[in-house]
Structure 1
C-alpha cells in the first residue's frame, strides 16, 4: 500500500482524465490525509465521519464507499505506517553481514522514514496508547510482527545462532523497543537536523551496547 498523498490533495484536483478506479483511489488517499490532519489535535477518537467528509469535500455517504467507519480508517493508517518500514528494515538485515552495518543502516533508514512520514509516526505515537481499542491492538500487532521477523533474522547471524528461540525473542523485543523509542525521540526533534543526528547517534550507541552484551549471552542447556 502506498503512502498517503499530500494533505492538500482533494478528489477534484487533477481528476480530469482519470479513470473511475483512479478517481476512487485519489478520494481514498484524500480521506486518509484528512484523517491524519484532523487527528493531530484531539486524536482519532475525536474525529467524526462528517468532519472528514467536509475536509475532503465529499458528502458523508461517499465516505462509506471507502471505509466502514473511522476505526477502519485508522487501521488503514496503521497499515501504511508500518508496511514500508518493515520492508525496508528487512532489506537492511538481508543485505548487511555484520551487526555494526545492520545497526548503522537500520538507524539511517528509521531516521529517513520518520522524516518522510512524520504525520504517520505522530499518529502511531499518539494512538498506540490513546486510540480506539482496535487501532491500539493493530499497532501492538505490527510491533510484534517486527519482533518476530527480527528474531528470525537474528537466528541466521553468527553468535545468536545457537540461542534458544525464547532468548532470541527477548533480544528482538529489546531492540524493537529501542527502535520505537528512537522514532518517538525523532518526532520530538521536530525536523531539526542537529537534534535528529544526536538522537540517531544515541540510538546507534544504545543498540551496540545492547548487542555487545547479547553476543556474550549463552542460552541455558
Structure 2
C-alpha cells in the first residue's frame, strides 16, 4: 500500500490536480479522511491503471516533439525557398523576384542605365491600361501567403489528430502541442509576409515615378 497526496496522485495519472478533483467529486477517486489517496483501494487502483496507461514515455514525447519540430523546419524551409526563388513573383507587373540577389542587382543596374527608355514604355503602358496597379500587388502576395499557411495548418492538425489517437494524449497535452504548432506558423507567416511586403515595396519604388507607376489614369 502507498499513500499519495492529491498532487502526487494526479502526477502519477498524468493530469493536473484540479482535474483530479473533478474525479474525486464524482466518486471515481477515493480520498481518505487524512486527505491522502490509497493506491491499494480497488477504485483508486482501477483509476490509476486506466489513466497511467495514457502517459507517454519520454521517448514517445520526444518523438512527437521532433515530428512537430520537423514539420516546422520544413515550413520555414519552404517559405525561405519561396522568398529566394527568382521565379516566385510570376507575372506580377514585371517584378523579377522577392529577394534582391546578385542576379537581381545586375538586372536593376541594367534597368537603371535604360531608365529613360523604361519610363517611356511605362507611360505607354499606362495609357493602354497594361500596367497592374501597384496597390494590388501586396494584397495578392499576402493572400497567397495566408492560403499557404492555412493549408499547412490543416495538414498539421491532421498529424496531431493521428498522434492523439495513437497515444491517447490528454486534452491538456494536445492543447500544448497545438499551441506550439500555431506559434510556429504565426511566426513563420509574419516573417514571410514582412519579407515579401518589404521586397515588393522596394521594387515598386525602384520602378516608380514620384507620382506612382502602374496606376491607371
TM-score, normalised to structure 1, is 0.29
Q: Which has the higher contact order (CA 8 A, sep 6+)?
A: 2
Task: Please identify the structure whose Cα radius of gyration is greater.
Answer: 2
Query: Which has the larger share of helix?
Result: 1
